[in-house]
Chains A and B, each alone.
Chain A
Amino acid sequence: MAKIKSFEELKKIKEKVQSNVELREKGENIDKLVQVKVAMATCGIASGAREVMNFIIDDLAKQGIKNVVVTQTGCMGYCYAEPTIEVTMPNSEPVVYGNVTIDRAKEVIEKHIKNGELIDGIIPVTHKTIE
């Protein structure tokens, strides 16, 4: 590393490298953040879940939205409606969206994650996640 010549310079380096640990810091506080789980079983991946997941991660980063954790999960059982994502706002019950295209994912971010509005496409939850 090049010599750090002032406190200001150190602060700038911090800003540059803090994304290195951001994922982990989020994981430590996961209960206080919005969680988006993308179902990534074979059925999900085949219907484009990976593209959806990558889009969500990139879009959140682009918009500078920091209170969201995007993770992948296994098959939720709604193979007919893949790709599916589960959105959990802090202290509330999870909501599952089916047939999530890139456009639909964008809508989820804009309306649900940013404003807490529910949008069309919710699958009535018939499963429970066991911690």
Chain B
Amino acid sequence: MSNYKMHILVCGGTGCKSANSDKIVDNLNEQLKINNMDQEVKVLKTGCFGFCEKGPVVKIEPDNTFYVQVQPEDAEEIVKEHIVKGRKVERLLYEDPETEEKVSNSKHMDFYKKQMRIALRNCGFIDPSNIEEYIARDGYHALGKVLTEMTPKEVINVVKESGLRGRGGGGFPTGLKWEFASRYEADQKYVVCNADEGDPGAFMDRSILEGDPHSIVEAMSICGYSIGATKGKVYIRAEYPLAIKRLQKAIDDAREAGLLGTDIMGTGFEFDIELTYGAGAFVCGEETALIHSMEGLRGEPTTKPPFPAESGYWGKPTNVNNVETFANIPVIILKGANWFNKIGTEKSKGTKVFALAGKINNVGLIEVPMGTTLREVIYDIGGGIKNGKKFKAVQTGGPSGGCLTEKDLDTPIDFDNLIAKGSMMGSGGMIVMDEDNCMPAVAKFYLEFTEEESCGKCTPCRIGTKRLAELLELITTGKGTMEHLDELKRLSRVIKDTALCGLGQTAPNPVLSTLDIFWDEYVAHVKDKTCPAGNCKKLLKYYIQEDKCIGCTACSRVCPANAISGTVKHPHTIDQEKCIKCGACMDKCKFGAIIKK
């Protein structure tokens, strides 16, 4: 029995760490020592709590107090007030934006109320660098169970019956994938974990690896047992240094504890895991490209079949799953297929982790049961749109996905519903846009991304995405014509039909989806040469409203182009010829007299 009477959990995810959470840990420890409480209170650095918007987050247990936006210098007050005297530090509590009431228990916060954490069960709860903490949460018990009580076939059946589908984006039934890999005979088979998270705005895989790396080690071992593989590889992008560090430590610790290596738990089972670093190429998330990259070749995809289950890494049967998919496995084994498949919708079981980003109040990492509606995610959990602006669209599925609008908000989120609505689940990036977002510009952003990420192997993707990006550039700078819009459509279709792999085939999706829903906005750009969202710089004009201008001359003094003229105490005007649209005048005006349209 430990002597600790309280635990202080400090978020050690990449987001909070970059906001100096390490220093908070140091200061807390120092203050505890000063107050002679270091034997009674334990400070732990955990993975991501998910509530990144208000990080760094500090949680105190067992009274479940949730402090937000904590600074290193707050450590003294937290220890003196909360730890020594038991008084909550009011100013650090989360304030509900609607009721303006302070909420101390995270369970009562809207952000957490509708969540259900399976893949993220240990994120923000345990110290990811301590194997004992994982074991204390039944860690490696699922592995022990399969090795001592189940045949490989039984394991595959449980995964099949659970209804788990691949969380990397494709949504392929995981159990079926394992079954395929198990059928092929070979002297060597491989289990690969795809940790090459490339969607803009997505960070769920990184957070799982940072917050609960042992769950991936355990799940890969279980997979290895079921398909008859003895080697595991994690393909992880090199730009995830913290995830790499924690995962490597987990692998080393597991090996030392005999949970990886030979004769695991005395059962004769052998399995080990190595990391392979990716250079951060979007296409390498596709399994055939990923395997080529691991073999030291260019990360280019090849046609399937043959599927990796038959001929994968070095031509051997290989099973590739995404990080989040693996994170679900130990729980499914321990709690059973029935427990899992009761959660979610008819064809999409369990939960899904989403990375909420964009113009939303609560940017962060969330996990909800499949079937939760977009409205619940955006308004209840995400706290609605920032600065009281109007919701315009939500982009799901990254560059391969599409936009959903107001009319789709009550759609229960699952693999099939999102596809039916013209978007997709993807890996779970969810970027929320408001009235200030220009949709042709959004499409341009994604196209520039795919253009850069194209491997260049096939012409439709290499040249097609470049041309699409060029057309969008013309449109957003006021040089577009109606013919350009037709060309945009035609070219998108051609690329979709002819590109070699998923990257190219889906690259035009952001264009097609926005063209379809926001046609008027495209037309306004080419016909009226205006940007209705007030976003495209080249199409904007700045005006001074006469009735609001008091003639303070502040604007004319900051204008770098000398485009503003007028006399003191009289309304000024902007010379549109000279104006370079830098917006300096608008920032400077204290009277809101300058508008752009």
Flag the segment in A5-13, A93-101, A104-112, A113-121 that touches B: A5-13
| A20 within 8 Å of B (CB atoms) | yes
* A4 contacts B7, C-beta separation under 8 Å: no
Contact present for A17 and B265 (CB under 8 Å): no
- Given known contacts A7-B144, A13-B132, is B85 in contact with A24 (CB within 8 Å)? no
Q: Which of B182-190, B254-262, B509-517, B574-582 contacts A (4 or more CB under 8 A)?
A: B254-262
* B6 proximity list for chain A (CB < 8 A): 23, 71
Tell whether A63 is near chain B: CB-to-CB under 8 Å: no
The 0/1 profile, CB within 8 Å of A marked 1, for residues 1-37 of chain B is: 1101111010000000000000000000000000000
Write out, one digit per residue, whether chain A residues 32-49 have a CB within 8 A of any chain B CB (1) or not (0).
Answer: 000001111110010000
Answer whether residue B420 sits at the interface, using C-beta atoms and an 8 A cutoff.
no
Closest to A45 in B: B85
CB distance from A26 to the nearest CB of B (A): 5
Cross-chain contact A17 with B136 (CB below 8 angstroms): yes
Q: Does B63 contact A (CB under 8 A)?
A: yes
Asked if residues B61 and A24 are in contact (CB atoms below 8 Å), the reply is yes
Beta-carbon contact of A69 and B131 below 8 Å: no
**A52 → chain B, closest Cβ, in Å?**
13
Name A19's contact: one of B1, B64, B257 (CB within 8 Å).
B1
Whether the Cβ atoms of B63 and A40 lie closer than 8 Å is no
Cα A73 to Cα B27 in complex, Å, equals 22
Assess A3 versus B258: contact at CB under 8 Å? Given A10-B135, A26-B61. Answer: yes
For B9, B131, B257, B267, the residue with the greatest tally of chain A CB atoms inside 10 Å of its CB is B257
Residues of A within 8 A of B (CB): 1-7, 9-11, 13-14, 17-21, 23-24, 26-28, 30-31, 37-42, 45, 53-54, 57, 61, 69-75, 130-131
Q: Other than the known A10-B265, A23-B7, what 15 A-B pairs have Cβ atoms closer than 8 Å?
A: A1-B132, A3-B257, A7-B144, A11-B141, A14-B136, A14-B141, A18-B136, A19-B2, A24-B61, A27-B63, A28-B61, A28-B107, A61-B1, A70-B62, A131-B108
Q: Pick 28 A–B contacts, CB within 8 A, sort by A.
A: A1-B256, A4-B257, A5-B265, A5-B266, A6-B266, A7-B144, A10-B135, A11-B144, A13-B132, A13-B135, A14-B136, A17-B136, A20-B136, A23-B61, A24-B9, A24-B125, A26-B61, A26-B62, A27-B7, A37-B86, A57-B5, A61-B1, A69-B63, A70-B5, A70-B62, A71-B6, A71-B62, A75-B87
